[in-house]
């Protein structure tokens, strides 16, 4: 995969995850018994999208960027770990 294709793929993943997060937020803001299914669906969507996305970022993208800005990549690692803990 070319760097541009990998970046485009990661960017598209971010948009899909954001869509799930937006749906989750909407369901939570309009919390009612009939929205429980929506909440579960959005959580499942986030879980389904996150792990392969993290694997691609951590396996392809992060190693190339780490030498350029190690402190930023350390923070990004922490963010991924935090997100994994929330699932």
> Could you state, in chain order, the average pLDDT of each consecutive group of 10 residues for the chain (87 residues)?
81 95 96 95 94 90 92 94 81
> What are the backbone dihedrals phi and psi of residue 71, each rounded to the nearest 5 degrees, phi first?
-65, -40
Question: Which tokens in the block code for residue 51?
Answer: 């792990």
Residue 87 has a pLDDT of 64
Choose among 75, 67, 23: nearest CA to 49.
Answer: 23
> What are the backbone dihedrals phi and psi of residue 40, each rounded to the nearest 5 degrees, phi first?
-60, -40
pTM of the predicted model as reported, rounded to 2 decimal places: 0.80
DSSP state of 37: H
């Amino acid at each position: 995969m070319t760097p541009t294709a990998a970046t485009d793929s990661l960017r598209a993943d971010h948009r899909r995850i954001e869509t799930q997060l937006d749906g989750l937020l909407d369901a939570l803001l309009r919390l009612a018994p009939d929205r429980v299914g929506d909440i579960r669906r959005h959580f499942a969507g986030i879980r389904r999208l996150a792990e392969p996305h993290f694997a691609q970022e951590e396996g392809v993208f992060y190693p190339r960027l780490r030498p350029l800005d190690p402190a930023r990549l350390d923070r990004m690692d922490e963010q991924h770990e935090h997100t994994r803990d929330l699932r």
